[in-house]
Every structure is written in structure tokens, then in C-alpha cells.
Chains A and B, each alone.
Chain A
């Protein structure tokens, strides 16, 4: 990794960015057609190198999961081998992996749906109300988001044990909904502020209640925004380790927690852990591919106010 990044940093920013600009503007013929070509090649290299480095750890884990056990983690590494899917079979059949995967997905879905349901009205209100309470709430939400998780999760462990919901999906989902609320309302509020207030006022003059405005006008208009927020919340819930590690044990265990408990295992089980990594990553990567256009468009249309 060090080598490739150095190569990227060695690129003169002026040249790379020049290529970016050349494409959009019309200008008199410049000396250095060759310079443009060099720049284009370098940009391509930087992009390819970045893509490779981003995917490398996942690729290596995937590689190790299909190698025969005796060469899976050998040093020096082996690149020619007869692939086998035995670790996947073993993972699926001899462990409760299907349960962990189900838990992860269910908790993510519940979190997303409830977080949106609770956060949408709040974000709408924050974008329309001019009073000081609005500002105070926003700042508080920001502070909540910045809190070290342990300050919140360790007491949750104790509380959940005493009311008996420790190690349940409900408890984990509830914790995640709360933890991700600040982000939810911030993001959605920014989307809402893009919609002019005249629309609300016009609808209310026509006899619509505030809630009706939200339901019938705002939400349909907010489609991309809601989708963006939903995707982010889903991803955050999917990725969560700390909260899940503290609040679950065997019934509600999620895949990240499972993989973390396999770090010190022996060879065949370590291969199963890499198989689990692959199985966790593939659907999420699929979502990333499908969703990235929405993410960019959604974020561009007003996630952040300049």
C-alpha cells in the first residue's frame, strides 16, 4: 500500500486536475498534447490503483476462503491451487451462520424502517419551525452523535439485562434506532429545507392539515432523500459491531460479532471466518453498486448546505 500511495502523491496536483478541467472547457490549442495524454494516463493509474487497494483485503479474504486448507494461509503465499468451497459448506452447515445473517438483516431492516418513521416528522418540523427549540434540538442531536458509544451502550447492557431483553433483536434494533437518530434527522432536515415553504402554505390554505402536508406532499417529493437516508441507516446498522458485541450473546448475534470471535481460532475455522466475511460482503457490495447513484444524487441535492 505504501508504494502505490507514494506513486499517487508523487503526481503533481496541477497536472491531474488540469486533465479534469480540460474536459469541460473550450480553449485555444495548448502546447503539450503529450502532456494531456500523460495526465490522462496518470489519472487512470491513480484510479485503478485506488480501486485495487480498496478491494484488496476483501479479495485476499475471498482467495483464502477457497484455497485448500493446507495452503490457505501459507507463507510464502500460493497463487495456484485447486479451489474448494468446503469452508462455505462447513460454515453454513456446522455453525449457526444462517441465524447470524438473518439477525443482521432483520435488525438492519427494523432499524431503518422505525428510524425513518420516527425521524421524518421530526426532520420536517425542524426544517419548518423557526423557534429556538429547533436549533437547540439540532445541536443536541449533533452532540449525541459525537458521544463515545460506550458511555451509552454499557448502561444499556445493564438495563437490558434487568428488564430481560438482553440478547434480543428488539433490544439491538432499539439501541441502533436511537444511536442513528441524530444522523437521520440531520440528513432528512437538510433535504426538507430544499423544498420551498410556499408549497406547504399553498396546501394548508387549501385546507390540508400539517400532517397531511407531510404525508401527501412532502414524502412523495422526498423520495430520493428518503431512499438515501434509508440506505445510510441500513448500512450503519449492518456494520455495527460495538453495540452488537455488548448487547447480544447467542440468540441475537450478528455476523460482525461472530467474525470477531473467530480471530483466535485454528486453521479450518479461520477459513470459515473468511467465508463468512465474503458472504457478508457480497450482498452489501451489491447494494453499494445499486445505491451509489442514489447516494450521490441524493447527497448532491442538498445533504449539505454550503
Chain B
């Protein structure tokens, strides 16, 4: 019978164990409070009627230096009396997944969700979002909501009703290393041909092996890239008849060819890059030109993020072909109320209205490009570029079929760019998948 007494631990191991536990306690002793990111939390008036019992408002929003000011304002300004506003950090992929999950049943976890013009028509058409027109009219004066650009409100509307309260515009903007451009006598490119030229010159000068960095992550962002290219060539996902997908048009083939033409100038692992990774490439000096949504631009000029913070300049993205619209995308980010929330909708609207109030919107500059008009953007290093980008971006295809088409075709797009599928076969597959999706659209 072997039931030995508990073996004794030798001293070195004992000491190490105690040391580790002590270290972990010390590290965690910094105070488990819950304060929001102090630098970005503006306190504004959030004067709702105090609900009778303790209420928690759960906010779903990804983290980026552009969105954080708004979500932090919500938390810091509207957490008082019986109301607590909670916001957990989550990355963009997580937000997308959680949005589907929380809107999937009769009860959901979140009471306020971050939405953007890309998904609003689809969600609204399926009845997943609350129409905000009445609440908007009711609180318009208090929060000065009419200063929010009308065209942006339209971007978050569906069939004439407002489904999201815009907080900021995000537009694809180009960033480049002004020191390297100066050194090689380059100017910011205005077409893809110029982009290739500039990149080649940088490569030849030995300054950079892969000068271009784009967020072409094969699991999601690449379909945004394809869309931007296709739109720049003048075509939407679906033709004017509202039924036939445009994937088998010559423009679609050209879009792929143009995208592939950039591959020699980009890191071979570019299909694993999401926007934070593109930022990382720029921080590390591994790339000289990048195109990302404007909310990611301000990070690049922060000294705490990179030693190259003072070497970045901004411009509107190039057009694929001369005279066409830019390789661009215009997205309006805002707040929506899910249909299945159990919290009082008036309260929720006041929470989101507070977050886009004047003071909060002002404080979000330069990290974000607020949806409110009439604000002074001169502090923002990229605002001028963003405005040009907004002016030259292709018009958005605000239809409910855009997200399902994207889900159905992302893998194929990735496969074509990776070279696993030929362009001809890829466009065929996309057309077939697209037709299947359109058949289920009402």
C-alpha cells in the first residue's frame, strides 16, 4: 500500500513559489478600481430621469483611439444615480461576432451597440434596431443634435427612418513617410500606377523592402479592399436592377488585377494584416505607405507609440485609374439601440446622445473625425486629407444585401489574392455565391 505522506518541497522550489505568488499580489495591488481611460473621458451633461431601480447599460463597442472617446464619455458621464454604464474592451472581430450573437434571440446582452453605415441597412431591414426618429425629435434641442451632419444621418437611415445616431465619419485615408518621400523626391500618389512607381522607387533606393502596407486580412478586411477597388472603378456589388451581382463584370476582373499588382510591394504576409498590424508596420518602419480608415491615423503621430511619430504625413488615397473615384470607402460610425434590450429606450437614447454632444465631439478631435458640423479640426494632422478623401470617395452602397454578400464572398476574394484561385474562376464563384444571396433577398 503506497500512500506516502505528502512529500516535502525542496527549498529552492518553495522559495520560487512564494516569490511568484508575492509578485503576482504586488502587481495586482495597484488598486482594482474601475476608472475609464482618463485621457479620453470627457464629462458631459447626461440628465436622464433616474430609473426606479438599479439599471446597468451594457455597451458593445470595439476599442480604437477614435471610438474610445465616445464610449468612455458614455461611461463616465452617464454612470450616476441608479444607472451604471459598462463597457468591456473588445477588438473589432469580437464586436462583429458579439453583434450577431446579441441580436440573435429575444434577449440580448447589450443595450447599446456600435454600428456603422455598412451594416445598418441590413440590420434595420431585419427589424434588429430601434427606429430613433421620435427620440431624436424629443431630445434634439437638449443635445443640439441637428448639428450632426444630415448626410451622415441619412447614411445611418433605412427607408427614411433613422436607425443609428452618428458619432464620427471614417474614411479610407493614406498615410506616408514624408522623410522618405522627400529623400527620394516623391509626391503622394494619385493613381495606382503612381503608387506602384513610388513603391518601386523606394524599393530600388534600398530604403524599404515592402513599402506598402494595407489591411488585407483574408478573414475580413480584404473584402473592404475589394469593395474599395471595385467602387473606384465605378461599379457597386449589385447592378442598378437591384438583382444581379456585378462580380462577373470586366470591372471586377480589373479590380482583382489591380489589387494583385500591388502584391510585389507588400509584405508576403499582408493577408494576415488587420489595421492594428498595418499600424505596427508603420511604427516599426517596415512600411512607408499605408491606407486605413481615418480613425487609425492619429495613433501614428503619438510619441508614445513610435519613434517615427513626426515623420508621417497624410493624403487622400489614390484612384485606381486616372479620373476615377478614389480607392475609397466612407463609413459612418454611430450608436444604435438593439430591438431586444430591456432597458428603457429613452434612457438609452440620452446615453448615446450625451456621448455625441458638442463637448464630447470636440474632445474626440484629433483622434476621430466627428459627425458634428462646425467643429474646429485644425488640431488634427489628417483632417485636411480626410476631407479630401470624403469628397473624392465613391458613393456608398447603402443596401441590406451588402453584409450577406460580403460574408459569402470573403473567402473567395482571399483565395484569389493568395493566388490559390485564378481571377476568372474566382469571379465566377463569387457570381454564383452572390446570386444565391440575392435570391433570398426580399
Determine if A73 and B35 form an interchain contact, defined as CB atoms under 8 angstroms apart.
Answer: no
Neighbouring B residues of A290 by C-beta, 8 Å: 9, 13-14, 17
B424 close to A (CB within 8 Å)? no
- Closest chain B residue to A221, Cβ basis: B3
User: Which DSSP category, helix, strand, loop or mixed, fits chain A's interface?
Assistant: helix
Determine if A264 and B109 form an interchain contact, defined as CB atoms under 8 angstroms apart.
Answer: no
Given A265-B89, A266-B63, A289-B17: A92 in contact with B4 (beta carbons within 8 A): no
B107 close to A (CB within 8 Å)? yes
Neighbouring B residues of A74 by C-beta, 8 Å: 283-284
Interface flags for A250-261 (1: CB within 8 Å of B; 0: not) read 100100000001
A285 close to B (CB within 8 Å)? yes
Interface flags for A208-234 (1: CB within 8 Å of B; 0: not) read 000000000000011110010000000
Determine if B89 and A261 form an interchain contact, defined as CB atoms under 8 angstroms apart.
Answer: yes
A121 close to B (CB within 8 Å)? no
Neighbouring B residues of A73 by C-beta, 8 Å: 280, 283-284
Determine if B13 and A289 form an interchain contact, defined as CB atoms under 8 angstroms apart.
Answer: yes
Interface flags for A267-306 (1: CB within 8 Å of B; 0: not) read 1111010000011001101100110111001001110000
Determine if B9 and A95 form an interchain contact, defined as CB atoms under 8 angstroms apart.
Answer: no
Give A24 to B202 CA distance when docked, in angstroms. Answer: 66
Question: What's the nearest-Cβ distance from chain A to residue B65, in Å?
Answer: 7
Q: Which of B7, B31, B105 contacts A161 (CB 8 A)?
A: B105
Question: What's the nearest-Cβ distance from chain B to residue A228, in Å?
Answer: 11
Determine if B27 and A70 form an interchain contact, defined as CB atoms under 8 angstroms apart.
Answer: no
Neighbouring B residues of A154 by C-beta, 8 Å: none
Determine if B24 and A283 form an interchain contact, defined as CB atoms under 8 angstroms apart.
Answer: yes
A89 close to B (CB within 8 Å)? yes
Question: What's the nearest-Cβ distance from chain A to residue B62, in Å?
Answer: 8
Given A95-B88, A95-B89, A297-B4: A267 in contact with B20 (beta carbons within 8 A): no
B299 close to A (CB within 8 Å)? yes
Given A194-B1, A250-B109, A283-B24: A264 in contact with B91 (beta carbons within 8 A): yes
Given A92-B30, A93-B33: A270 in contact with B276 (beta carbons within 8 A): yes
Give A69 to B303 CA distance when docked, in angstroms. Answer: 9
Given A73-B280, A261-B90, A283-B24: A161 in contact with B299 (beta carbons within 8 A): no
Give A90 to B304 CA distance when docked, in angstroms. Answer: 15
Neighbouring B residues of A261 by C-beta, 8 Å: 89-91, 94
Give A274 to B305 CA distance when docked, in angstroms. Answer: 16
Given A92-B32, A161-B107, A223-B6: A266 in contact with B276 (beta carbons within 8 A): yes
Give A278 to B28 CA distance when docked, in angstroms. Answer: 11
Neighbouring B residues of A289 by C-beta, 8 Å: 9, 13, 16-17, 20
Interface flags for A91-125 (1: CB within 8 Å of B; 0: not) read 01111111001000000000000000000000000
Determine if A250 and B27 form an interchain contact, defined as CB atoms under 8 angstroms apart.
Answer: no
Given A74-B284, A94-B37, A263-B91: A278 in contact with B276 (beta carbons within 8 A): no
Neighbouring B residues of A101 by C-beta, 8 Å: 28
Determine if B31 and A264 form an interchain contact, defined as CB atoms under 8 angstroms apart.
Answer: no
Neighbouring A residues of B303 by C-beta, 8 Å: 70
- Closest chain A residue to B308, Cβ basis: A70
Interface flags for B17-45 (1: CB within 8 Å of A; 0: not) read 11011011001101111111100000000
Neighbouring A residues of B183 by C-beta, 8 Å: none
Interface flags for A119-156 (1: CB within 8 Å of B; 0: not) read 00000000000000000000000000000000000000
Given A69-B304, A279-B28, A282-B23: A253 in contact with B92 (beta carbons within 8 A): no
Determine if A262 and B30 form an interchain contact, defined as CB atoms under 8 angstroms apart.
Answer: no
Question: What's the nearest-Cβ distance from chain A to residue B441, in Å?
Answer: 27
Determine if A297 and B7 form an interchain contact, defined as CB atoms under 8 angstroms apart.
Answer: yes
Interface flags for A42-82 (1: CB within 8 Å of B; 0: not) read 00000000000000000000000000111101110000000
Interface flags for B60-102 (1: CB within 8 Å of A; 0: not) read 0001110000000000000000000010111111100010011
Question: What's the nearest-Cβ distance from chain A to residue B110, in Å?
Answer: 8
Question: What's the nearest-Cβ distance from chain B to residue A169, in Å?
Answer: 15
Determine if B1 and A278 form an interchain contact, defined as CB atoms under 8 angstroms apart.
Answer: no
Question: What's the nearest-Cβ distance from chain B to residue A151, in Å?
Answer: 19
Question: What's the nearest-Cβ distance from chain B to residue A190, in Å?
Answer: 13
Give A269 to B65 CA distance when docked, in angstroms. Answer: 10
Neighbouring A residues of B91 by C-beta, 8 Å: 261-265
Q: Which of A70, A221, A265, A266 contacts B304 (CB 8 A)?
A: A70
Determine if A264 and B94 form an interchain contact, defined as CB atoms under 8 angstroms apart.
Answer: yes
B279 close to A (CB within 8 Å)? yes
Give A89 to B33 CA distance when docked, in angstroms. Answer: 10
Neighbouring A residues of B280 by C-beta, 8 Å: 73, 267
Question: What's the nearest-Cβ distance from chain B to residue A291, in Å?
Answer: 9
B244 close to A (CB within 8 Å)? no
Determine if B89 and A250 form an interchain contact, defined as CB atoms under 8 angstroms apart.
Answer: no
Given A98-B32, A266-B299, A269-B63: A75 in contact with B286 (beta carbons within 8 A): yes
- Closest chain A residue to B9, Cβ basis: A293
Determine if A70 and B283 form an interchain contact, defined as CB atoms under 8 angstroms apart.
Answer: yes
Residues of A at under 8 Å CB distance from B?
68-71, 73-75, 85, 88-90, 92-98, 101, 161, 167, 194-196, 221-224, 227, 249-250, 253, 261-270, 272, 278-279, 282-283, 285-286, 289-290, 292-294, 297, 300-302
- What would 6 more interface pairs be, CB under 8 Å, given A70-B307, A96-B34, A282-B27? A88-B30, A94-B36, A289-B9, A290-B17, A293-B8, A294-B6
26 contacts between A and B (CB under 8 A): A73-B280, A75-B284, A88-B28, A88-B30, A92-B31, A92-B33, A93-B35, A95-B89, A96-B88, A161-B105, A194-B2, A222-B3, A227-B6, A249-B109, A250-B58, A264-B91, A264-B276, A265-B276, A267-B283, A268-B305, A282-B20, A282-B27, A283-B20, A294-B6, A297-B4, A301-B3
